Structure 1
Amino acid sequence: MTTTAVPDEGYDWSDIDRPPPDLEVDGDQLAADVDAAGECTPSTPCHRDGCEFCDPAGWLDRQRPATTPVPGPAEDQAADGDFWAARASLARVHQFARARRGAPWATLGVVLTRVVTATPPFVVLPALVGGHGSLNLFVATVGASSAGKGTAERIGEESVDVGPITTASVGSGEGIAHLYARRVRGGGIERHTDAVLLSVPEIDTLAALGSRQGATLLPELRRAWSGEALGFSYADPDKRLPIPGHSYRLALLVGVQPARAGGLLADADGGTPQRFIWLPATDPAAPDVAPDLPAGLLWQRPPWPMAEFGTSRVVLPVCQAARAAVDAARLARLRGQPSDLDGHALFAQLKTAAALALLDGRAEVTEEDWQLAGVVATVSRRTRDGITATLNQVERERNRRRGEAEGDRAVLVAERVEDAAAQRVARWIVRKVAAAGGVAAHTELRRSLAGRDGRHFADAIDRLADAGQIVTEDIDGGARTYRLLGGAS
């Protein structure tokens, strides 16, 4: 069997060209394979050239579910084309998610981050713009509280088995380098991990950590997304923990409630939200009856191409359509055209295309991978736009309530001012009538009242009358007097 040269990075490549013995296959298919290959069985594969059973390129296609996959609903098909029906791997993820009452898109996001995490860090994208591109992938699963973001993570883990991977929660920017290395006695640096999947169930955690005074988390995550070197240049060399670029793998999975995503979207100037694939954790067209649960996929790591000459990096071949799109977008940005939230859209699409190819057991990005990743990008934009609309609605409601509160406050203040003025004029009337011997003419009182208080006179008289402090008397000729009652002062 032809072998493929790969970089020596301490990985066990002994089984790179053979399927794992515990892979589940359909019984009828297994019988056919055994007949075709003689003594070839899952436990004792023959590994002969041309054996369909041992050919890793044929494994994934034979993982088709025994029952017909439930296609996406008509409205999903109209919006997303035949995405889920395009490949057996996608159909399996879709059916598995619906059988477990999860969201297919969010489940796919989880699967892709796990596949990327399981891919060695020396596997990179070609240097289409600048240097080599990293496969490091960020996915945000979007839904209201209890919508199923955590459910999607569990379903994604069970629907496609990528083997053991290291998962961790997010902390400070300085702590990211410590996920991969540590200082040892004598001042040396020991690498203990090459790949980590960061899982953040709630966006509030990421936003809070990123908004702290002097926080370095978001800038460090942005560097990780691009595969750049990690670590900080402390004055004390014993505190430095440098992680070279493209020597690590990092994927990030974040759960997002739309109304609470403002903190992340607010970092658009820094470029953080542009690096995410935004996928819904809901399935509005979920069927009334869940489909049968298919067997989970066992991911087959593809044989890697030759390492790039003079380096230890394996560069995934990329189709011309993706190359042309990336180059055209870069040229537009060089000419000063604005990019706003879509500044990294094509790079994120290329990462997605590579993840879809890897999920399908291939180490190259084809035009179909690129087109399917375009569907994911459309869903991502649609989901992100929905978040923006939700945030705008929340802000409008907040402004409305603020305006109502300010109006109520203004009315209350005005009422209190009027009440205080009426009480002050009432006290003045009592003093003037008392000074006049207990009886005073209306004309004399009004004439001696300050002009600014004239509009409060009638209200003050009514209050005094209601309180039993004064009585109004009409005398001959239509004149009016006010008599102070006993005990009033």
Structure 2
Amino acid sequence: MTDAPNWQPNVGTADPRLLPAEFWEARPAHRQIQRAAHAINRSADVAFAGVLARIAALMPPDRPGDTGIGSPASMNTFVALLGPSGSGKSSGKRVPRWLVPAPPDIDFAEYLPLGTGEGMAEAYMGEVEVTEGGTGRGKGKTKTVREQVRTNALMYADEGERLIKTMFGRSGTTIGETLRTAWTGDTIGQFNGQKVNTRVIEEGKYSLGLIIGFQPETALPLFDDAAAGTPQRFLWFSTLDTTLPDEPPAWPPPLELPLLNSRLRDVTITFADTIRKELRIEDRARVMGEIIPAPLDSHRPLTLVKTSVLLAVLDNRADVTAEDWELAKVVWNTSCNVRDALVEAAARQRAQEEEARTKQHVDRAVRAHKAVTTADRTVVRIGRRIANRVHASEGMTLGAVKTDTANRDRPYLLDALDYAEAQGWVQVDGDKVQPGGSKPS
């Protein structure tokens, strides 16, 4: 995909790329998040996205969401913050840190940089001392080994361009595959003969939140990985907020979220029967081939499950209600609006660029026809010489062609190039002149 056009809000109207007013008014915790963001003149949607990812990262990994459909759902959550440079993407890190302090009893690796797939697994690893052997009063031998030492991590990338370059570079297979696997909560890492390079974080034994900031043009290549399912694993949020008040509100107190306490026992995530029924009906229709979701909507059910659980936890409950489910749909729909606006804007720009290229080719064809019908011996001579030089050099720039042309012949240069292209001797593409399919006889 190519560069995206300007990413501008619909000032004065209800922008479908922003969480609506009724979402913010639905619950006290939502209003606290909005107040915190507006207190520092930042997007409430970005703050909410960061809170979701932080709660997911702090969730005890032994509390999945079991809807009775497939395997219990990991709460691992990825959010993408989309907006131009300088639009406050970093508030997706600062506001959640202030609002959702980490419980003191957990080893929490927060806001780690996102690098390689191996690095994601390494976030949970560390060194511990173990004692082996020894009988009776004899002391065993103590040695240091590497193993998983923590269960909770939050990763952050202010600009996702580096991720894109890594994904589509030589090491991209590792990070892309690890991201997709980690989102579902399956085992990540790698095992080989050398223990120092072995990093295996097993399914159900880790929690992960991921926050990535994107400028519109840097986010587009991620959609080239849609067949593998990477962009579908993100909730998308706009960094632009048209609802900022003239006067900043007072800073709210931190959120109290007791369900993040890993010492609480007998906590089970439950779902209302209406939710379980809706999921079962849709899942059955998918399995039977009665419905085929749009490619970018393929993970909608699992995303709704994750989001509704996090919303319930934000409301200090482990039971996911019909209201949680409907609010999760509001988040999902807003995310789709952000995502689709980006994709559609890119499609429009590609169409405009294609139209411009077509016009350029038509204009060139007209000039080439004119060059053939009106060419005199001077134009033919110069065209032959240019073609031979381009073939010998296996391509040249227009600047090099001009430099290589005698001063007395330069007034005829463009006509000569058009003639050479019309004969099939060269191909002109922007500033490049490449060999054509044939050479002057």
After TM superposition, the score normalised by the length of structure 2 is 0.71
Please state which structure has a larger fraction of its residues in strand.
Answer: 2
Within-5 A mapping of 1:29-178: 75=14, 80=20, 82-126=22-66, 128-162=68-102, 165=108, 166-178=110-122
Task: Confirm or deny that 1:393 pairs with 2:320.
Answer: no
Q: Of residues 301, 318, 321 in structure 1, which corresponds to 2:271?
A: 318
Residues 35 and 252 in structure 2, CA contact (< 8 A), matched pair in contact too: no
Within-5 A mapping of 1:202-241: 202-213=159-170, 215-234=173-192, 236=194, 239-241=197-199
- What corresponds to 1:342 in structure 2? 297
Residues 318 and 366 in structure 1, CA contact (< 8 A), matched pair in contact too: yes
- What corresponds to 1:293 in structure 2? 250
Judged with a 3 Å threshold, the aligned counterparts in structure 2 of structure 1 residues 163 and 415 are, in CA distance, closer, same or farther, namely: farther
Equivalent position SS for 1:246: coil
Residues 167 and 176 in structure 2, CA contact (< 8 A), matched pair in contact too: yes
- What corresponds to 2:3 in structure 1? none
Q: Deviations over 1:286-344 (max 9, x none)?
A: 33x13422323243323789867xxxxx5311222322222222112201232211111
- What corresponds to 2:6 in structure 1? none
Residues 326 and 347 in structure 1, CA contact (< 8 A), matched pair in contact too: no
Residues 143 and 256 in structure 1, CA contact (< 8 A), matched pair in contact too: yes
Residues 305 and 316 in structure 1, CA contact (< 8 A), matched pair in contact too: no
Structure 2: distance between partners of 1:415 and 1:233: 67
Equivalent position SS for 1:114: helix
Q: Of residues 372, 388, 392 in structure 1, which corresponds to 2:327?
A: 372
Judged with a 3 Å threshold, the aligned counterparts in structure 2 of structure 1 residues 404 and 153 are, in CA distance, closer, same or farther, namely: farther
1:117 is displaced (CA, Å) by: 1.5
Structure 1: distance between partners of 2:100 and 2:375: 74
Equivalent position SS for 2:208: strand
1:81 is displaced (CA, Å) by: 6.1
Bigger relative contact order, structure 1 or 2 (CA pairs below 8 A, ≥6 apart): 2
Unaligned ranges ≥5, structure 1: 1-72, 309-313, 428-489
After TM superposition, the score normalised by the length of structure 1 is 0.64
Task: Confirm or deny that 1:191 pairs with 2:191.
Answer: no
Q: Deviations over 1:451-483 (max 9, x none)?
A: xxxxxxxxxxxxxxxxxxxxxxxxxxxxxxxxx
Structure 2: distance between partners of 1:408 and 1:168: 53
- What corresponds to 1:243 in structure 2? 201
Greater CA drift, 234-243 or 146-155: 234-243
Task: Confirm or deny that 1:278 pairs with 2:231.
Answer: no
Residues 73 and 305 in structure 2, CA contact (< 8 A), matched pair in contact too: no
Task: Confirm or deny that 1:402 pairs with 2:374.
Answer: no
Structure 2: distance between partners of 1:359 and 1:397: 45
Q: Deviations over 1:348-386 (max 9, x none)?
A: 111111111212222232222111111111111111111
- What corresponds to 1:328 in structure 2? 281
Structure 2: distance between partners of 1:348 and 1:248: 18
Within-5 A mapping of 1:442-461: none
Q: Of residues 215, 218, 222 in structure 2, which corresponds to 1:260?
A: 218
Residue type at the aligned position of 2:207: R
Judged with a 3 Å threshold, the aligned counterparts in structure 2 of structure 1 residues 271 and 359 are, in CA distance, closer, same or farther, namely: same
Residue type at the aligned position of 1:167: Y
Q: Percent identity?
A: 29
Structure 2: distance between partners of 1:183 and 1:394: 51
Structure 2: distance between partners of 1:138 and 1:384: 14
Structure 1: distance between partners of 2:381 and 2:328: 79
1:127 is displaced (CA, Å) by: 5.3
Greater CA drift, 217-226 or 365-374: 365-374
Residues 122 and 247 in structure 1, CA contact (< 8 A), matched pair in contact too: yes
Greater CA drift, 135-144 or 334-343: 334-343
Equivalent position SS for 1:140: strand
Residue type at the aligned position of 2:114: V
Structure 2: distance between partners of 1:115 and 1:245: 19
1:248 is displaced (CA, Å) by: 0.8
Residue type at the aligned position of 1:243: I
Structure 1: distance between partners of 2:187 and 2:194: 19
Equivalent position SS for 1:295: coil
Q: Deviations over 1:134-178 (max 9, x none)?
A: 011111111122222123432333344345742211111122211
Structure 2: distance between partners of 1:426 and 1:76: 62
Equivalent position SS for 1:75: coil
Residue type at the aligned position of 2:169: R
Residue type at the aligned position of 2:86: S
Residue type at the aligned position of 1:207: I
1:414 is displaced (CA, Å) by: 5.3
Within-5 A mapping of 1:403-422: 403-407=358-362, 409-410=364-365, 421-422=376-377
Judged with a 3 Å threshold, the aligned counterparts in structure 2 of structure 1 residues 157 and 187 are, in CA distance, closer, same or farther, namely: closer
1:121 is displaced (CA, Å) by: 1.8
- What corresponds to 1:446 in structure 2? none
- What corresponds to 2:410 in structure 1? none
Structure 2: distance between partners of 1:333 and 1:307: 36
Residues 53 and 209 in structure 2, CA contact (< 8 A), matched pair in contact too: yes
- What corresponds to 1:481 in structure 2? none
Residues 259 and 390 in structure 1, CA contact (< 8 A), matched pair in contact too: no
Unaligned ranges ≥5, structure 2: 1-11, 130-142, 383-441
Structure 1: distance between partners of 2:264 and 2:381: 98
Structure 2: distance between partners of 1:397 and 1:93: 40
Larger Rg computed on CA atoms: 1
